[in-house]
Amino acid sequence: MKHTTHARSNRSKVLLLALLFGLGVVVAACGGGGDGDGGGSSSGGEGSDLSGSINASGSSTVAPITIRAAELFEDESPDVAITVNGPGTGDGFVQFCSGETDISNASRAIKESEAAECEEAGITYTELKVAFDGIAIMTNPNNSLECVTFGDLYALLGPESEGFSDWSDGQALADELGGSNSFPSAPLEISAPGTESGTYDSFIEIVLEGIVEERLGEDASAAIRTDIPGIAEDNVIIQGITGSDTSLGWVGFAFADENRDTVKALQVDNGESGCTSPTVETIADGSYPVSRPLFVYVNNEKAAANPSLEAFIEFYLNDGYTSAVTEAFGDSGYVELPDDQLQEAKDAWANR
Amino acid sequence: MALSTLGNHSVTTTAVERAILGKGSDSKGLIFKLLVGSSIAFALLVLVVLLFDVVTGAWPVLTGRGADFLSSDLRSRASESGVFQPLRGTFWIGVFVVVFSFPVGIGAAIYLEEYAGDNVFTRFIDLNIRNLAGVPSVVYGILGFSIFVKFFDGFFPNSVGQHAGKTTAAAGITLAVLALPIVIITASEAIRAVPQALREGGYGVGATKSQVVRTQVLPYAAPGILTGTLLSLARALGEAAPLILVGAVQDKLGGRTGFFDFAQFGEQFKALPITITNFAGRPGDDWQEVTAAAIVVLLVLVLMANTAAILLRNRFEKKRG
């Protein structure tokens, strides 16, 4: 009796182990190509013998650029491990200034308080402007509207416009905010990206956030009207704009520019440089207001100590640059720097 | 009264038969039957719709890319992205749960059921374990961060510059702790269900307490213990919230550590539930397909664990006779 039960429990242990091992083998058989394939996909870069790891964090808006640059770099130098996280610009600087990260992605320049923290920790860094996050505000070419102010956009799309279904509904609010347009009495058909899109966040941060804070206080419950249809596909947003004569919406500038024949990109006036159309030039010189520069901050000491980090930034600003910026979301991306500004970034990196 | 009932035997039988089986005789019962029937139909319908939706969404990716999807990492393009790193992470987290929480949990259950006396203290412990099983998983994430991540900070070389303790090992142990109360409870229930006569029989032939536990109680309780423990494994595999706190990488994780390379225990990690969330948050139909495919991978992993549980249970039950 004792013998048989012992044999039995032993056999059951073996069986349990065998099953768990089998589970592992099946999973490994499915995924086992991982190391082999991973190395194999770098067929073009057998010359590189760089190895090391790089850690980037910061803005989730900039992360796609750095991720695209990183994956192209890793294709050439498979032994370099680049990890990119996107908790937000502010959180990114906290990590950066405590020496946790090598690279900090930022959708704004570093604040004085943050710079002071870096200095306190003895961290020196190089600021590199890498791209522009430009947003085109669009309507149908048949709409006679030409130029809008941030106030107009707030009146039509801000949290106080919840429920407005007609352009004229926003008139009173727009007048109050100093607008000079007279909106037509026509259906307001909004065609815009949803929360999963970086462009949605960027629009709020660039256009609406300032007015929201001014009017509703910092702890306002919403920064945008919540009854807009969140459209995931840029194509579908364009279709929505062309589908109605009195539509209103926004997409990333690069995508609107490709469709400039079918949609009208509105001029925008925020009181500084008058009504300005979005073009590569007005975005690059900063006169088009619905746009912001995107930055990458690099820790100088870590770059000096880590050849793979130095090589990665070189790649980022040179061979990988265009692809990283314009293919950040796969098929679309951000606005590239004009040559002189890109050269400035390269010089800043060289003279760090 | 009794006599007359006996006398009208056949009449009573027909009356009772009509009351139970006759048409319209038990309308309340019929409604109840319909209600419970529609409950199971609803539950199954939801499951079928869910599975159908996920599998049809995933079909183009699974058939078109197959092994490539399982062997590649997150990339900017959905068509190049895969689940190698998160699959690796979730698999090893599962191994940690099996290795740490199963022996400890079953051991604790044996102690509670067989050795500990029934007094205020053990009832207090029992109550606490039950409460622990109901603690939201995020709380375990905070525990994992403040204890295990900090502990492993000092353990591994600070190779990535990040919080060095945000590793597969820390995540695995955190989820093992999360699964522990559930393992203890299910194992306790299974041990409690062992007939007392079995133990008494053991003592009757002169066996010691530990012999009775090993040769009588455990083999009899094994199917129940297995079912419970592997279900808790399935739950742990699907957890996302604690892993976010323990530092699962949500975007791009560098490195090409192999599936069975133990070095990964000391490296940052990804996990399937979090990767699914990340994929799902990306715009476009192609990302939705990749999301569905990743969900199918997680479902298959969990199903494999459950299948293992069922096979083992059947085996033990057959032995038990």
- List CB contacts (< 8 A) between B260 and chain A: 24, 28
How far apart CA A78 and CA A71 sit, in angstroms, is 9
How far apart CA A285 and CA A315 sit, in angstroms, is 25
CB contact under 8 A, B71 and A102: no
How far apart CA A88 and CA B215 sit, in angstroms, is 58
The verdict on B75 touching A (C-beta cutoff 8 Å) is yes
| Minimum-distance CB partner of B308 among A5, A23, A28 | A23
* Best of B84, B106, B250, B252 to mutate (most A CBs within 10 Å, chain A): B252
Any idea which of A44-48, A123-127, A171-175 has the lowest mean pLDDT?
Answer: A44-48
Report the 3 state secondary structure along B165-212.
CCCHHHHHHHHHHHHHHHHHHHHHHHHHCCCHHHHHHHHHCCCCHHHH
Q: Phi first, then psi: what are they for A2, rounded to 5°?
A: -60, -40
Q: Where are the alpha helices (DSSP H) in chain A?
A: 2-31, 33-40, 63-76, 89-97, 112-120, 150-157, 171-176, 198-203, 209-216, 234-243, 253-258, 280-284, 300-305, 307-317, 321-326, 339-350
Residue A21 confidence (pLDDT): 52
Convert A310-321 to b/e letters by CB count within 10 Å (16 or more is b): bbbbbbbbeebb
* Best of A3, A23, A199, A201 to mutate (most B CBs within 10 Å, chain B): A23
The per-residue pLDDT string of chain B (321 residues; one tens digit each, 9 = 90 and over) reads 444 455 556 778 887 777 777 666 678 888 999 999 999 999 999 999 999 999 999 999 998 888 899 988 888 888 889 999 999 999 999 999 999 999 999 999 999 999 988 889 999 999 999 999 889 999 999 999 888 888 887 666 554 444 567 889 999 999 999 999 999 999 999 999 999 999 999 999 999 999 999 988 998 999 889 888 888 898 899 899 999 888 888 888 888 788 888 888 888 899 999 999 988 878 778 888 999 999 999 999 988 888 888 888 888 888 765
Q: Tell me what the mean pLDDT of segment A286-315 comes to.
A: 93
Helix (H) or strand (E) holding A102: none
For the beta carbon of residue B40, count every other beta carbon within 10 angstroms: 9
Residue B129 confidence (pLDDT): 93
Q: Which of residues 205-234 of B touch A (CB under 8 A)?
A: 211, 214-215, 218-219, 222
The verdict on A99 touching B (C-beta cutoff 8 Å) is yes
The verdict on B152 touching A (C-beta cutoff 8 Å) is no
Strands A189-193, A230-231: pairing kind: parallel
Q: Which of residues 253-272 of B touch A (CB under 8 A)?
A: 253-261, 268
Q: Per CATH, is A135-291 categorized as 3.30.1330.60?
A: no
- Taking a C-beta distance cutoff of 8 angstroms, is the pair A327, B76 a contact? yes
The verdict on A104 touching B (C-beta cutoff 8 Å) is no
The verdict on B72 touching A (C-beta cutoff 8 Å) is yes
Q: A11-132+293-350: which CATH number, 3.40.47.10, 3.40.630.10, 3.40.30.10, 3.40.190.10?
A: 3.40.190.10
Residue A72 confidence (pLDDT): 93
Strands A230-231, A291-299: pairing kind: unpaired
The full set of domains in chain B, from first to last, is: 85-320 (1.10.3720.10)
How far apart CA A316 and CA A73 sit, in angstroms, is 8
The verdict on A232 touching B (C-beta cutoff 8 Å) is yes
Tell me, what's the ipTM? 0.76
Residue B24 confidence (pLDDT): 64
CB contact under 8 A, B68 and A37: yes
Instruction: Tell me whether domains A11-132+293-350 and A135-291 share a fold.
Output: yes
The domain locations on chain A are 11-132+293-350, 135-291
CA angle A45/A48/A52 to nearest 5° reads 120
* Best of A11, A26, A53, A234 to mutate (most B CBs within 10 Å, chain B): A53
Helix (H) or strand (E) holding B1: none
Indicate whether A40 pLDDT > 50. Answer: no
- Taking a C-beta distance cutoff of 8 angstroms, is the pair B303, B55 a contact? no
> CB contacts < 8 Å between A and B, how many?
154
Output the CA–CA distances (angstroms, integers) from residue B217 to B24, B197, B262, in the order listed.
50, 11, 37
Q: Which residue has the higher pLDDT, A189 or B320?
A: A189
Any idea which of A210-214, A234-238, A307-311 has the lowest mean pLDDT?
Answer: A234-238
Any idea which of A199-208, A307-316, B15-24, B296-305 has the lowest mean pLDDT?
Answer: B15-24
How far apart CA B151 and CA B171 sit, in angstroms, is 12
Q: Which of residues 170-209 of B touch A (CB under 8 A)?
A: none
pLDDT tens digit string along A222-235? 889 988 888 877 88
Cβ neighbours of residue A105 under 8 Å, at least 6 residues apart? Answer: A56, A57, A58, A59, A61, A62, A63, A65, A66, A84, A86, A89, A92, A294, A295, A296, A297
The verdict on B130 touching A (C-beta cutoff 8 Å) is no
Nearest residue of A to residue B211, measured between CA atoms:
A2
